[in-house]
Structure 1
Amino acid sequence: MKKTITIILLSVAVLGAAGWMVWQQQTIKAAKEKHQQESKTNDEQLSKLKSVQADMKHENEKQKKKMSTITKKLKNKKKAYQKEVKQRKILEAKIDQLQKELTAAKATAQAINRAHRLQGNQLLKKTQMSLTIRPHNGYRINMIGV
């Protein structure tokens, strides 16, 4: 009977060990499957992220080119604006100079007109004086307006 109990105990131990080994194999198999599934999911996510990264890199380069183009355009517009401002200042200075020359020319013209009027008045007075002079033949000479 001792032998039978021993055999039964050994059989139970062997069956327990076999069951434990089967359970371990199933656990390992399930862990491998889970790992493979996670690895597959991670690979898919990594692939998507790489694709998104490539798209973002392409978009970033596109935006950089756009910014560069806009910056160049703005620089050109700024240069053109500065050139216009410079030309405007030059033209304003020329206008101021011409206005000064015009004012001086008007003043000179007024002075000349006054001088002519004064000379004309003096001439008129001389002419009026000469009107009173009568030549020896007795006729009066009218020189007004000459």
Structure 2
Amino acid sequence: MADVHDAATRSRNMAAIRGSHTKPELLVRRALHAAGLRYRLHAKDLPGKPDLVFPRHRAVVFINGCFWHQHDCHLFRWPATREEFWRTKIGRNVDNDAKAVAILREAGWRVATVWECALKGRTRPDFSVAMLDLATWIRSSENMITLRGA
């Protein structure tokens, strides 16, 4: 009986994890909108469903959670339980990210990745500077940018 209860609790906890409209995403959206940039949200017609799409600038932004996308920072730790499950799940996320970026780049899109550690945690840079860097990149012709904690 305990196994059924544990599985149900895990399932409920996983269902509470948001895939879009997360706090980090809302922070970035608010800052870029205030900078005068307009965007589409979660474009299902593009590989990887980028969080923000700037068609006018031919740019997309992915806002990645450090845990879910296996970022090499202080916010990522492998879970101590169900190791095989988590390594498979997170590994698949990393593979899907790489494929989506490659396809987008081939199609002429410029790609930005904003890591969660760039927005929170002990190594985060000054938020206004990070958002200025991102807004400047969107308006530029540079191919890629990655924002992360120090």
* Higher alpha-carbon Rg: 1
Q: TM-score range by the shorter chain?
A: under 0.3
- TM-score scaled by structure 2? 0.20
Greater percentage in strand = 2
